[in-house]
């Protein structure tokens, strides 16, 4: 009976809770984005639905579901139908390994669904599957702009994944583990967030993360001004909203991983300084959420500030700047660890 | 011939590890069957994109079988490299070339004269290999033998030479691709 509870019931409950929180979070992330962008542009943003547009995401969601779901005649029906799912499912699966709280929280079951010894690689692997949905969606639409968008995004995502991987290796060398829980624990025992040990790795990770999620300034796959809407031009209604949700879920993934790897995950700031223990009044999962929100805000801030790269610039910066710098970072880190520790 | 994992009623009553074992065996059959069906589908599909999709499913299922063998690192690498990188490039090429278009040469009608004998030869070879293969008793996998540290240690000690040779091979292939592509520019 114990095994049934430990391996089936508890994970299922956690999965349901996380999916529910994530879905709600994504809905309100869209509102946050619209509000922040509006403020950056001296507008008010959504104001009509509820107090300061607080119910806007619900209205948007209903609209997406009610709208007609159009499948173009010349589209490949099967692939066109499953592509949004291929995009969406990996975006949610990643959260099964992201720790929201310490292992002894939640009555000893741990503040995460599962803690596997290769959690970080698992996250990278699963999110690399998501790109297939984008490519297939663009191809199956059987139309010019989606195909161009899909080609751009596949080139972009494959290129930036390489640099991102090398950026992460810097953290692995310091943490000596691939388990996300152990990486956070290591930051606690070392008394320093890995951002201060590996700042270059963080910058590369975060920029590549922006590119992976197709956000400005790397949003060429869905550049409205030149490609109409990129790979999802032909999508409408509910299926379009699935792509949309996947993109926002990926934003949260990138932010969560950035927090876990570089900013101490669920730890409070200065977790080794006893004098600041009054900060413990905020529980660890809330610290995690606060940090993630800061990164999501930066995502939106950058979108509201920077113009888009040209495609050749995008490829050049990925292969000729990020990749060499990330590799050099790995070598220097390795050499220092070998020499002094 | 082949040692399938079997749920033994005597050794595994429903308490303790019994449930886990049922789950493991059940999942093994699900993964293995899906892998075989999708592998068949790779060959049988008429549209190349569907073949590529089936191949992705097949590779994913094999990754699942790796995890059941506790070779989690290999499983994840399988997904990163095949599903995340190689299949993306496959799809890339399929989308750009569109192999269904008429521009590609139609295979010769006499191809059957070669294909059928070669197919029979392959079948004979595989069955010979199957007959000569003696099934090992279903042993247990050593704890941690598939994790990243173990794989890394083996790779950089026992298998250093093949590893470096492969690296050089890949480097040569990359250079070759660049040279060939540059010629056309």
Q: Which of B101, B116, B135 is the last residue of a domain?
A: B101
Nearest to A158 among B85, B147, B148 (CB): B85
pLDDT per residue as tens digits for the range B28-67: 899 999 999 999 998 888 788 888 889 989 998 998 888 8
CB A99 within 8 A of CB A188: no
Q: Domain range for residue B167? A: 147-185
Q: How far apart are CA B36 and CA B32, in angstroms?
A: 6
**What number is the average pLDDT over the span B89-105?**
70
**Residues B29, B96: one domain?**
yes
Number of structural domains chain B divides into:
2
ipTM: 0.78
Res. B103: pLDDT tops 60: no
Nearest-neighbour CA in chain A from B110: distance (Å): 33
Q: Is residue B123 part of a domain?
A: no
Question: pLDDT-derived band of residue B3, with 50, 70 and 90 as boundaries?
Answer: very low
Q: Are A151 and B96 in contact (CB < 8 Å)?
A: yes
- A312 in contact with chain B, both atoms CB, cutoff 8 A: no
Q: Is residue B14 part of a domain?
A: yes
> Which position has the higher pLDDT, B170 or A307?
B170
Check residue B145 and give its pLDDT. 61
**Residues B35, B89: one domain?**
yes
Check residue B21 and give its pLDDT. 76
Q: How far apart are CA A207 and CA A270, in angstroms?
A: 26
**Residues 6 or more apart in contact with residue A55 via CB below 8 angstroms:** A49
In the stretch 47-76 of chain B, residues with CB closer than 8 A to chain A read: 47, 49-50, 53, 56, 72-73, 76
Range name among A27-41, A228-242, A298-312, B39-53 with the lowest pLDDT average: A228-242
Question: pLDDT-derived band of residue A1, with 50, 70 and 90 as boundaries?
Answer: low
Check residue B14 and give its pLDDT. 46
- CATH number of the domain encompassing residue B15: 1.20.120.1200
Q: Which of B70, B101, B132 is the last residue of a domain?
A: B101
Domain residue limits, chain A: 2-340
- A6 in contact with chain B, both atoms CB, cutoff 8 A: no
Q: How far apart are CA A76 and CA A165, in angstroms?
A: 34
Nearest-neighbour CA in chain A from B162: distance (Å): 23
Q: Which residue in chain A is spatially nearest to B72 when comparing CA positions?
A: A118
Q: How far apart are CA A150 and CA B55, in angstroms?
A: 20
Q: Show residues of chain B in contact with A150, CB under 8 Å.
A: 95
pLDDT per residue as tens digits for the range A33-59: 888 888 888 888 787 887 887 888 888
Q: Is residue B90 part of a domain?
A: yes
Q: How far apart are CA A117 and CA B70, in angstroms?
A: 11
Placement of tokens 């000893």 in the chain: A108
Q: Show residues of chain A in contact with B98, CB under 8 Å.
A: none
Q: Show residues of chain B in contact with A141, CB under 8 Å.
A: none
Distances (CA, A) of A141 to A69, A72, A75, A145, B149: 13, 7, 5, 9, 44
Q: Is residue B8 part of a domain?
A: yes
Res. A117: pLDDT tops 70: yes
Distances (CA, A) of A109 to A60, A101, A187, B64: 36, 10, 21, 25
**What number is the average pLDDT over the span B129-138?**
72
Q: Which of B76, B101, B126 is the last residue of a domain?
A: B101
**Residues B96, B184: one domain?**
no
Checking phi first, is residue B101 left (phi over 0); if not, alpha (psi -120 to 50) or beta? Answer: beta
- B89 in contact with chain A, both atoms CB, cutoff 8 A: yes
Q: Are B79 and A158 in contact (CB < 8 Å)?
A: no
Q: Is residue B1 part of a domain?
A: yes
**What number is the average pLDDT over the span A282-298?**
87
A322 alpha-carbon distance from chain centroid: 19
Q: Are A132 and B91 in contact (CB < 8 Å)?
A: yes
Distances (CA, A) of A98 to A166, A258, B4: 20, 11, 35
Average pLDDT of chain A, as a whole number: 83
Res. A233: pLDDT tops 90: no
Q: Show residues of chain B in contact with A122, CB under 8 Å.
A: 76
Check residue B34 and give its pLDDT. 93
pLDDT per residue as tens digits for the range A78-115: 888 888 888 889 888 888 888 887 777 767 677 777 77
- A147 in contact with chain B, both atoms CB, cutoff 8 A: yes
Nearest to A125 among B49, B76, B96 (CB): B76
Q: Is residue B115 part of a domain?
A: no
**Residues B3, B94: one domain?**
yes
């Amino acid at each position: 009976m114990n095994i049934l509870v430990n391996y089936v019931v508890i994970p299922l409950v956690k999965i349901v809770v996380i999916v529910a929180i994530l879905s709600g979070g994504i809905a309100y992330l869209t509102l946050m984005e619209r509000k922040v962008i509006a403020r950056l542009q001296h507008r008010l943003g959504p104001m009509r639905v509820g107090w300061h547009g607080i119910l806007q995401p619900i209205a948007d969601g209903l609209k997406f579901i009610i709208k007609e779901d159009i499948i173009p005649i010349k589209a490949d029906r099967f692939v066109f139908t499953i592509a949004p799912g291929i995009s969406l499912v990996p975006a949610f699966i990643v959260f099964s390994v992201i720790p929201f709280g310490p292992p002894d929280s939640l009555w000893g079951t741990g503040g995460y669904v599962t803690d596997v010894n290769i959690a970080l690689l698992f996250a990278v692997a699963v999110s690399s599957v998501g790109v297939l949905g984008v490519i297939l969606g663009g191809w199956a639409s059987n139309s010019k702009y989606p195909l161009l968008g899909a080609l751009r995004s596949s080139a972009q995502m494959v290129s930036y994944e390489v640099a991102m991987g090398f950026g992460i290796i810097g953290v692995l060398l310091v943490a000596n583990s691939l388990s996300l829980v152990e990486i956070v624990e290591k930051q606690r025992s070392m008394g320093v967030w890995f951002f201060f040990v590996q700042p270059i790795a963080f910058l590369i990770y975060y920029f590549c993360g922006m590119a992976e999620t197709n956000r400005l300034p790397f949003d060429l796959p869905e550049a409205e001004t030149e490609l109409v809407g990129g790979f999802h031009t032909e999508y409408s209604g509910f299926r379009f909203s699935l792509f949309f949700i996947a993109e926002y879920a990926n934003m949260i993934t990138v932010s969560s991983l950035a927090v876990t790897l570089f900013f101490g995950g669920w730890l409070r700031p200065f977790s080794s300084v006893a004098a600041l223990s009054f900060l413990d009044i905020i529980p660890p999962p809330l610290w995690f959420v606060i940090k993630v929100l800061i990164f999501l805000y930066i995502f939106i801030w950058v979108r509201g500030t920077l113009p888009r790269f040209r495609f050749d610039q995008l490829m050049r910066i990925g292969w000729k700047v990020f990749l060499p710098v990330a590799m050099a970072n790995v070598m220097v880190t390795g050499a220092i660890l070998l020499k002094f520790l | 011939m082949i040692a399938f994992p079997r749920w033994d009623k005597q050794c595994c009553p429903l308490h303790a590890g019994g449930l886990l074992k049922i789950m493991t065996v059940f999942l093994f059959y699900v993964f293995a069957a899906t892998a075989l069906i999708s592998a068949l589908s790779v060959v049988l599909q008429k549209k190349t994109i569907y073949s590529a999709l089936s191949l992705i499913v097949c590779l994913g299922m094999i990754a699942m079988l790796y995890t059941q063998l506790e070779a989690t690192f290999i499983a994840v690498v399988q997904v990163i490299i095949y599903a995340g990188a190689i299949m993306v490039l496959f799809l890339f090429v399929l989308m750009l070339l569109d192999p269904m278009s008429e521009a590609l040469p139609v295979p010769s009608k006499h191809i059957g004269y070669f294909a059928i004998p070669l197919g029979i030869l392959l079948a004979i070879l595989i069955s010979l290999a199957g007959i000569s293969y003696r099934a090992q008793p279903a042993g247990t996998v050593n704890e941690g033998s598939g994790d990243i540290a173990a794989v890394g240690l083996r790779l950089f000690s026992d298998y250093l030479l093949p590893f470096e040779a492969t690296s050089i091979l890949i480097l040569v292939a990359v250079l070759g691709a660049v040279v060939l592509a540059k010629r056309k520019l």
